[in-house]
Structure 1
Amino acid sequence: MGLSSTGIGSGLQVEDIVSKLVALERQPIAKLQSVALSMQTKLSIFSQVKSMMSTLSDAAAKLSKNSTWGGMVATSSNSAAVSVSVIGAASATSFGIGVQQLARAQSAASASLGAPGASVGGGSLSIQLGTWTGTDTASPQFTEGAAGAVPVQIDAGDSLATIASKINGAKAGVTATVLRDANGERLLVRSDSTGASSGFRIRVTEDGAAPGLSNLAFDPQGAPGAGMAANAIQYAQNAQATVNGIAVESATNTFTDTIPGLSFTASQITTAPVEVAVGSDTETLKKNIQDFVNAYNGLNDLLGASTKYDSASKTAGALQGDGTTVALQNTLRSMIASTAEGTGAFQRLADIGIDIKTGGKLEVSADKLDAALKNPEALKALFATNVGSGSQANGLAVKMKALADQMLLPEGLLDNKASALGASIKRNKSDQDRVDERASIMEKRLRAQYTALDAKMASLSGLGAYVGQQVSQWNRTNN
């Protein structure tokens, strides 16, 4: 507001009068703002209720699924030697695994072939994958694999590094590497995969004008003791193990098809069987149940704090007396306290160590729950029985999820409540704007009126002064 001289002409405390009258006109805004703050608090609480209801729905959904209760876990008495995991539908069982041999790839190395960059010779290589047998004899035999031999053309001036690059580029199932030592360079060739069928044979056709490429041949059957076959050889082999004394093999150290639903990986050769046990995944079940309890307690605490009356401070919760909140609170507590229908070993939460405390909060007895987890089928019946939509015979998790999902529907109870509060807040803001507008109009009108009054009073004051002067002059003349 700019500077104003209103009141100078009349001598009245116009600013004080106008301010107090406008403040009186604005007085309803304070009450409207208080109501708006209360509605914003309620809207915030309902947003929290919706979020916690969603968390409860997720927790209940886990406990309502059959797959949750069918979860199995496998343990190994020596995981450094044999690790095991569940990969499908597995049954509770136990067995011993012995590891006699680990899977490996084939590798071979050439003799030193001269200084770096030196030419090796020209011609072509033929790389064939397959299986070597009789490797512990003087006459190993090679059986070609299903894939055909891969040719690799070598130019007379190619260095060993160039040859390695050409072999790798041919994608023949092997990887070539150049090794430099004190004697020069040599070629290392290793199959890309483990397992007996990943062995390789390398045949060489030399360029007569640039001999020497035969140093890279590997064919212990056709040319024993020649080329790379003259050096130390590591033949490819399968992993070999026994399960309860029955021999099994795998091209890798991981056995995935040996026992349905299970995979085990051999890492060390064993001298005694490693004991493997498969049973119900009670730790995950326990966590899922605790998550459900935590989600329920969080929502119960929020509803309780929002509807209670604190006699000490004489203050009421933001939602005390709200029918929607009270009904939801009672429904949840009634559902938690309900008794399961049927003849299962567990009929109520208290049977598995989950007690209802003052205020509706749940408390878990770890020992009693651990004992109940030894009977997963009965636990499943308490939580996950599903005989049809809306049936009172459904398990607790099934019923709780149905309730939560109904609350969370678009245009459902919670959404409608939030929408109604939002609309009320909007109307409240409009009411505040109208009061403010009326006060502004009133202030403008008052200032106009007092400005006119000032002008009139100033005019009358001037006339009075003139008359006074004339009277004084007349008196002096008569004297």
Structure 2
Amino acid sequence: MASPILPGSGLGSGLDIGSIVTALVNSDKAAQQSQITKQTSITTAKISATGALKSVLAAFQTAMDGLNKADAPAFSGFAATSGTPATLTVTSDNTAVNGSYNVVVNNLASSSKIASAAFAGGASSAIPTGTLTVSQNGINYAVNIPSGATLQSTRDAINSTLQGKGITANIVTDANGSRLVVGSTVTGAGSDISLSGIAGLAVDGTTKMDGTATGAGYISALAADASFSVDGLAVTSKSNTVSPVGGISMNLLAGGGASSVVTVGTNTTGLQSSLQAFVDAYNKVITTLTAYTTPSLDADGKPTVSKAMTGDSLPRNLISAVRNELVNVPSGSGGNGQLAVLAQLGIQTDQKAGTLSIDSTKFAAAMAGGMSGQVQSLFSGSTGLISRMSAAIAPYSQTGGILDQRTSTLSNTQRDLTNQQSALDLRVSNLTASLTAKYNAMDLLVGQMKATASNITSFFTTLNAQKSG
């Protein structure tokens, strides 16, 4: 929008109308504009700080979730290692004890895979209507084969119906034609698959396929159990994931007499690494809160510039909530030398910054004192530190929680300030136009009066000249 203020001096009055109007308008809007600008800056900073705080809490929760995985215990007091990872991998929990075990894997557990007779017409071969029964481990699964079905649509029907049962079908074409091949993720002797109910698709899963066009049966071998030994003691299992030794889980990867020595020892390095991961994630929360609450200091150490959340009760309450859990001792814990608080592991708090750090010497002493097996219970479980810490931050970080509500309120304030700015801009525009019109009218009137005065003066000058003559 073009400015209604005319540049330069008034032709009649000689006054700088533009400067006068600008000065008057600026004087009128200054107080309100200053307030809007200040509040907009504060609100924008608070929105940014609230978003940063929610982000760091989400990262903290993700880190805690990672440390609290049931299938990968981060705080296990003992660590099991496999001397030959290509033969088997191993994990342990807090019930494991120090020791070593020689494991020899004779053969792996295998699953069933069967093939139907060959269809010369390929994947588009017609399949009779009816119910195909897929049997495994004494359980029969019914698959409906509708009118007009083909070998391909039959495959798709099996996959759709038995999704989640570990049974899948595909089509394999050999020299004799296309065959329906059905396999399973279920391993172990007796888990062989068989098909019945549809002409041309019947398969006895205990009969080996002979390779002819009409031949059907299992491919390669029947489903089998894993066979292995631990220190010479023979063990069989329907699965390749086995737990023959208390507190130790092994995943068998290679058979044929492959061997590996499994060793279990105190998980000192792993525990310290997991504790450091927790400490780092916690410290990130504290340093973020500090950055948005602690004002800048001058050379004398006196507060000068406030931060976005300086004096705000929200971060104070959050800090109090998370710090309380660090020293909270669950009921029934801490007696008879039991591990109950982080300080017993050498984790200490910086009294000024509020951050955590690990004293390596004290940590080593705790491990030597037999506390390694108790770290898992300190952090995990319904009363563990991770569960309690998650509950402490949930009211702030969850969807619709305190931080989301704060963001919503601030966004409303920001929209209101935007509306106030628009209203002020409109008022300034109207006032500028009004004052400019008035000063221009005044300038015109002054010009007219000057012209009249000039005429009168000229008249009397002429009259005096005539009298003198």
TM-score (norm 1): 0.62
SS at match of 1:266: coil
Deviates more, 1:313-322 or 1:34-43: 313-322
What secondary structure sits across from 1:310 in the alignment? coil
Which of residues 397, 400, 420 is equivalent to 2:389?
400
How far off is 1:74 after superposition? Answer: 4.5
- What code does the residue aligned with 2:411 have? G
1:66-215 alignment to 2 at 5 Å?
68=73, 74-80=80-86, 82-85=87-90, 94-98=100-104, 165-167=174-176, 169-170=178-179
**Which residue of the partner structure matches residue 215 of structure 1?**
none
Distance 1:101 1:320, change over 3 A: closer
Q: How does 1:147-296 map to 2 (within 5 A)?
A: 165-167=174-176, 169-170=178-179, 242-246=229-233, 255-256=240-241, 259=244, 261-266=249-254, 274-277=260-263, 286-296=272-282
The one of 57, 60, 67 aligned to 1:56: 60
The answer on whether the counterparts of 1:65 and 1:384 sit within 8 Å (CA) in structure 2 is: no
Distance 2:236 2:315 in 1: 64
CA distance in 1, matches of 2:263, 2:314: 51
Write the distance in 1 (CA, Å) between the matches of 2:363 and 2:38.
48
Supply the distance in 2 between the matched residues of 1:169 and 1:264 (Cα, whole angstroms).
Answer: 34
Other-structure match for 2:375: 379
Q: State how far apart, in whole Å, the 2-side matches of 1:440 and 1:298 are.
A: 49
Q: Which residue in 1 is equivalent to 2:49?
A: 45
**How much has 1:468 moved relative to structure 2?**
2.5
User: Once the two structures are superposed, what CA deviation does each residue of 1:287-327 show, in whole Å capped at 9, x if it has no partner?
Assistant: 54333222211111111222223333533333221122222
Residue deviations 1:376-398 (CA, integer Å, cap 9, x gap): 55223322353xxxxxxx33222
The residue correspondences of 1:459-470 to structure 2 (distance < 5 A) are 459-470=448-459
Displacement of 1:255 in angstroms is 4.4
Residue of structure 1 aligned with 2:354, choices 360, 363, 369: 360
> How far does residue 339 in structure 1 lie from its aligned partner after superposition?
3.9
Kept in 2, the 8 Å contact 1:88–1:262? The answer is: no
**Cα–Cα, structure 1 residues 40 and 290, in superposed 2: closer, same or farther, change >3 Å?**
same
Q: CA RMSD in A?
A: 4.2
Unaligned ranges ≥5, structure 2: 111-172, 183-205, 215-219
Cα distance in 2 between the residues matched to 1:94 and 1:415: 53
Question: Are 1:54 and 1:404, in contact at CA under 8 Å, matched by a contact in 2?
Answer: no
Q: Is the 8 A contact 1:76 1:276 kept in 2?
A: yes
SS of the counterpart of 1:98? strand
Name the TM-score, length of structure 2 as normaliser.
0.63
**What is the distance in 2 between the residues matched to 1:56 and 1:264?**
35
Distance in 2 of aligned mates of 1:258 and 1:404: 37
Counterpart in 1 of 2:6? 4
Cα–Cα, structure 1 residues 286 and 306, in superposed 2: closer, same or farther, change >3 Å?
same
Instruction: Give the deviation of 1:460 after TM superposition.
Output: 1.2
Over residues 172-203 of structure 1, what are the superposed CA-to-partner deviations in whole Å (9 max), with x where a residue is unaligned? Answer: 99xxxxxxxxxxxxxxxxxxxxxxx9987568
CA contact (8 A) 2:6 2:17 kept: no
- 1:316-359 CA-to-partner distances (Å, cap 9, x unmatched) read 33322112222222332233233444244212111112111132
How big is the shift at 1:473?
2.8
Deviation at 1:452, TM superposition (A): 0.6
Structure 2 residue aligned with 1:35, among 10, 34, 39? Answer: 39
Q: Greater shift after overlay, 21-30 or 239-248? A: 239-248
| AA aligned opposite 1:382 | L
Structure 2 residue identity aligned to 1:54: A
Structure 1 residues 145-198: Cα deviation after superposition (integer angstroms, max 9, x where no partner): xxxxxxxxxxxxxxxxxxx9514745799xxxxxxxxxxxxxxxxxxxxxxx99
Q: Which residue of 2 aligns with 1:141?
A: none
Larger radius of gyration: 1
Instruction: Give the drift of 1:422.
Output: 2.2
In the alignment, what sits opposite 1:303?
A: 289
The structure-2 alpha-carbon separation of the partners of 1:66 and 1:371, relative to structure 1 and needing over 3 Å to count, comes to: farther
Q: Could you give the per-residue CA deviations for residues 240-262 of structure 1, whole angstroms, max 9, x where no partner exists?
A: 754322456899xx945684843
Aligned identity (percent) is: 24
Aligned to 1:17: 20
Contact in 1 for aligned 2:75/2:274 (Cα 8 Å): no
CA contact (8 A) 1:53 1:299 kept: yes
CA distance in 2, matches of 1:78, 1:37: 62
Give the distance between the partners of 1:23 and 1:204, measured in 2 at CA: 97
- Paired with 2:403 and 2:213, the residues of 1 have a C-alpha distance of 79
Tell me the distance in 2 between the aligned counterparts of 1:101 and 1:304.
59
CA–CA separation in structure 1 for the residues paired with 2:181 and 2:388: 60
Are the counterparts in 2 of residues 102 and 240 from structure 1 also a CA contact under 8 Å?
yes
Whole-angstrom CA distance in 2 between matches of 1:336 and 1:101:
49
Give the unaligned 5+ runs of structure 1. 105-163, 174-196, 206-233, 387-393
Q: State the match for 2:308 in structure 1.
A: 318
TM-aligned CA deviation for residue 445 of structure 1: 1.2
Partner SS, residue 12 of structure 2: coil
Q: Deviations over 1:45-86 (max 9, x none)?
A: 111111222222334445567664796864222335x23345
1:329–1:74 distance in 2 versus 1, CA, 3 Å: closer
